[in-house]
Amino acid sequence: MKKIIGFDIDGVITDEEHENDNIWHDAICNFLGYDIVRKSDSYLFDQAYDISSDVINKFLDKNLTDIYSQVKPVPLARETIRKLYNYNFEVNLITARDQGFKGLTTKWLKKHQIPFTKLIHNGDKVPHALAAGIELFVEDNAENARAFARNNIPVILINKYHNKFLETKGKSIYRVDNWQGVCQIINDFFKINFL
């Protein structure tokens, strides 16, 4: 019987964050023409920065396609997903990206040789995960992690500045720092040893 796993794309498969560097922060600073200070460690622009929603929308309209097209994958994420797919796992990618980016996302995944069984564009991930029978999901968004846990879908939460506040003890949420940690949890969860 196939094992079914799910992954978020942005912040999980995409390599967006390095020490003191984040593609989204760099892009907003370039757009504004100055180095803006983050006011909170929020996942959402309007909460993270003291700028209007009008400016945020203009920034996203101008930059989203380029960011989605040019971001690199985390090397170990790509390797891990390939191995899982080749070992007959069903790999479901569920992203909050707008449906209008499905073609671009599919092209990016093919370019970077990241195989998948299903690609779903929807911010409300849990109903799709439940319908697909996903047994374990890899995520970076704290609210999504909570929603998965509430619906009895274990989730691996990759540590990011925007999810550090979430208490994960006893909630079917496995917190990890990197993809080595993701691989270890997947190995243990599915009782495999090829990652």
Tell me if 128 is assigned to some domain: yes
Note the pLDDT of residue 68: 95
Are both 66 and 30 inside the same structural domain?
Answer: yes
Note the pLDDT of residue 17: 72
Known catalytic residues?
Answer: 8, 10
Question: Which of 29, 44, 70 finishes a domain?
Answer: 70
User: pLDDT (tens digit, 9 = 90+) per residue, 71-96?
Assistant: 999 989 999 999 999 999 999 999 99
Between CA 105 and CA 97 the distance in angstroms is: 9
Note the pLDDT of residue 99: 97
Are both 95 and 61 inside the same structural domain?
Answer: no
Are both 185 and 149 inside the same structural domain?
Answer: yes
Are both 84 and 141 inside the same structural domain?
Answer: yes
Are both 11 and 28 inside the same structural domain?
Answer: no
Name 173's Cβ contacts closer than 8 Å, sequence gap at least 6: 145, 146, 148, 149, 154, 155, 156, 157, 166
Q: pLDDT class for 120, splitting at 50, 70, 90?
A: very high
Q: Look up the domain containing 126 and give its range.
A: 4-15+73-190
Tokens of 69: 């097209």
Question: Which of 48, 70, 92 finishes a domain?
Answer: 70
Total domain count for the chain? 2
Query: Residue 169 pLDDT more than 80?
Result: no
Quote the mean pLDDT of the chain: 92
Q: pLDDT class for 195, splitting at 50, 70, 90?
A: confident
DSSP state of 85: H
Tell me if 25 is assigned to some domain: yes
Tell me if 195 is assigned to some domain: no
Tell me if 124 is assigned to some domain: yes
Between CA 94 and CA 124 the distance in angstroms is: 9
Are both 35 and 80 inside the same structural domain?
Answer: no
User: pLDDT (tens digit, 9 = 90+) per residue, 131-159?
Assistant: 999 999 999 999 999 999 999 999 999 99
Are both 10 and 51 inside the same structural domain?
Answer: no
Are both 90 and 52 inside the same structural domain?
Answer: no
Tell me if 31 is assigned to some domain: yes
CATH number for position 113: 3.40.50.1000
